[in-house]
Structure 1
Amino acid sequence: MSNSPIGIFDSGVGGTSIWREIHKRLPSEHTIYLADSKNAPYGPKGKEKIIDLSVKNTELLLKKGCKMIVVACNTATTNAIRHLRKNYDVPFIGIEPAIKPAALQTKSGTIGILATKGTLSSELFHKTSDLYANGVQIIEQVGEGLVPLIENGKIESPEMEKLLKLYLTPMLHANIDYLVLGCSHYPYLIPKLQSFLPKHVKIIDSGIAVARQTEAILAKHDLSTQEETRGNCIFYSNGNPEILQHILKHDFSVEALDF
């Protein structure tokens, strides 16, 4: 099993921000990435639907021989990962907003979080907030409309500019000094976000932490690859593969797959 691939899924192309960090840290590991763009975004969907989609993605990755599953979607993690861990024998790595480092490092006492509705309304998010952000003011903002624009290749569009300004303005009025990105799609907005935010506001996402955790769990279960050559990376999309191809540049190819 140690030379089998790591499976990664997201509600579209955003989870490639997590895949990049994993591939950078573990370049010899084989990976299979599923972009469930047909069902993006997961955020507005109910918990049962999110679990159903996560089960579908997991079973497809297991059929392809994956030794571990990375749920590279905040909404799927917060709503479905407990169910997945209970029902499947492989290790699962989840992704949740990096509230802890922001809460520990804030000097203004106020942090912002930009996330999907599914993440912000989840039990896991509230538990994490209560545990690490006691005494810190959190300005929560649902990033409604951001994922569809990213999925349709409209990061530089006027619609994106309008939404980001709308969502960030209340946070700046509240004097945030950290902005936590609570969706794996959002790291692709970092250049746009930086153009709106003052230089002292730091942006935090979860990619590096997830890559570290992936490495640790592989070692713990004796699943780290024994190969020393560069890993094979396979990408599937059930939406428009050209969007994922554009994000990956020409380094990797994307296969259309109906799932």
Structure 2
Amino acid sequence: MSTNPIGIFDSGIGGTSIFKEIYALMPHENIIYLADSANAPYGNKSRERIQELSIKNTELLISKGCKIIVVACNTATTNAIDYLRNTYSIPFIGIEPAIKPASLNTKTKSIGILATKGTLSSTLFHKTTDLYANGVTIIEKEGEGIVTLIEEGKLYSNEMQVLLDKYTKPMLDANIDYLVLGCTHYPYLTPILSKILPKHIKIIDSGFAVAQQTKSVLEQNSILNTSIIKPLIEFYTNTNTTILNEILERKFNVEYLDF
């Protein structure tokens, strides 16, 4: 089992931000990544539809021999991971917005969270904020339109700039000192946000923590790959491969797969 691949799926290319952290931490692991871009974004879909898509992705990764699955999508985690864990025997790693570190470290007692509708309206999100954000003002903004622009290759477009100015203004008005990125697509916004926001505002996501948790679970289950053979890294997308290739800087093989 140790040489079997890590499976990663997302509603599109955003989960590559998680892939990069996992690959950097565990460079010998074989990895299979599914970009379900044909169904992006997940954030505006019903809980039932998100579960259906998560099951489809999971069963494809299991059919390819994956030993663990990283649900590299905040919306799929909050709406489907409990079902996945109760249904399949392999371990699952989920993604949660980094509310805990932001709430514990804020000096102004005001933090911003940029996430999808599916994440912000989920039970898990509200449980996390209730648990860690007591006494902290949280400015939630649904990042409507952001995922679609990233999937279309319009990361540095005027449309994106307009959206980010709009979404961050109420956060700035509320004197936030942390901005939590609650979608795996959103770390790709960091260079743009760093120019919009004052220097004292820290932008955080959960990518490195997810990679650490993945490694820890592999170790606990004695399935960490100790081989030093060059790993097999496979990317599959059910739309045009161009955008995924570009976000990966053409360093990995990307194939079209109808799933």
Q: If the length of structure 2 is used for normalisation, what is the TM-score?
A: 0.99
In 2, distance between residues paired with 1:124 and 1:113?
15
Paired AA for residue 124 in structure 1: L
Counterpart position of 1:59: 59
Counterpart position of 1:100: 100
What SS does structure 2 have at the residue aligned with 1:194?
Answer: helix
What SS does structure 1 have at the residue aligned with 2:18?
Answer: helix
What SS does structure 2 have at the residue aligned with 1:104?
Answer: helix
Counterpart position of 2:126: 126
What SS does structure 2 have at the residue aligned with 1:22?
Answer: helix
Per the TM alignment, residue 232 of structure 1 is displaced from its structure 2 partner at its CA by 1.4
Paired AA for residue 34 in structure 2: L
Per the TM alignment, residue 229 of structure 1 is displaced from its structure 2 partner at its CA by 2.7
Counterpart position of 1:188: 188
Runs of 4+ in 1 over 2 A off after TM superposition: none
Count how many residue pairs are aligned between Structure 1 and Structure 2: 259
Per the TM alignment, residue 240 of structure 1 is displaced from its structure 2 partner at its CA by 1.6
Sequence identity percentage: 65
What SS does structure 1 have at the residue aligned with 2:224?
Answer: coil
Counterpart position of 1:176: 176
Map 1:148-227 → 2, pairs under 5 A: 148-227=148-227
In 2, distance between residues paired with 1:98 and 1:131?
13
Deviation string, structure 1 residues 15-73 (Cα, Å, up to 9, x no partner): 00000000000000000000000000000000000000000000000000000000000
- Does 1:230 find its partner at 2:230? yes
In 1, distance between residues paired with 2:151 and 2:85?
28
In 2, distance between residues paired with 1:240 and 1:42?
18
In 2, distance between residues paired with 1:146 and 1:65?
33
Per the TM alignment, residue 91 of structure 1 is displaced from its structure 2 partner at its CA by 0.2
What SS does structure 2 have at the residue aligned with 1:45?
Answer: coil
Deviation string, structure 1 residues 65-101 (Cα, Å, up to 9, x no partner): 0000000000000000000000000000000100000
In 2, distance between residues paired with 1:215 and 1:26?
8
Paired AA for residue 137 in structure 2: Q
Gaps of 5+ in 1: none
In 2, distance between residues paired with 1:24 and 1:104?
27
In 2, distance between residues paired with 1:226 and 1:198?
44
What SS does structure 2 have at the residue aligned with 1:171?
Answer: helix
In 2, distance between residues paired with 1:123 and 1:136?
19
Counterpart position of 2:250: 250
Counterpart position of 1:38: 38
Deviation string, structure 1 residues 167-220 (Cα, Å, up to 9, x no partner): 000100000000000000000110011110000000000100000000000000
Per the TM alignment, residue 247 of structure 1 is displaced from its structure 2 partner at its CA by 0.4
In 2, distance between residues paired with 1:70 and 1:61?
10
In 1, distance between residues paired with 2:251 and 2:236?
15
What SS does structure 2 have at the residue aligned with 1:163?
Answer: helix
Per the TM alignment, residue 226 of structure 1 is displaced from its structure 2 partner at its CA by 2.6
In 1, distance between residues paired with 2:216 and 2:230?
19
In 2, distance between residues paired with 1:79 and 1:231?
32
In 2, distance between residues paired with 1:252 and 1:111?
36
In 1, distance between residues paired with 2:105 and 2:229?
39
In 2, distance between residues paired with 1:250 and 1:55?
29
- Does 1:84 find its partner at 2:81? no
Paired AA for residue 185 in structure 2: H
Counterpart position of 1:47: 47
